[in-house]
Amino acid sequence: MLSIFYQTPKLAEDVISIYTTFSYSVVAFAAGYFIHDTIDMIGTPRSRQCIELIAHHFVLLIALSVPILTYKSVGYLLVGLLVEINSIFLHLRQLLLLHKFDKTSSTYRLNSILNLGTFIIFRISPLCWMTRWIVINKNLVPFFFYFLSSLGLAITTVMNIVLFYRCLSSDFIHRKDTSSKLE
Instruction: Say how far apart CA 138 and CA 181 lie, in whole Å.
Output: 52
Among 83, 84, 81, 90, CA closest to 168: 90
Cβ contact 50:69 at 8 Å: no
Number of H helices, E strands in the chain: 10, 0
Q: How confident is the model at residue 118 (pLDDT cuts 50, 70, 90)?
A: very high
| Residues 90/92/98/102 CA torsion (nearest 10 deg) | -100
Q: Give this prediction's pTM.
A: 0.85
What does the pLDDT average to over 13-36? 95
Q: What is the pLDDT of residue 176?
A: 57
Q: What is the pLDDT of residue 122?
A: 96
- Count the Cβ atoms, other than its own, within 10 Å of residue 15: 22
164: Cβ contacts below 8 Å, ≥ 6 apart: 116, 119, 123, 124
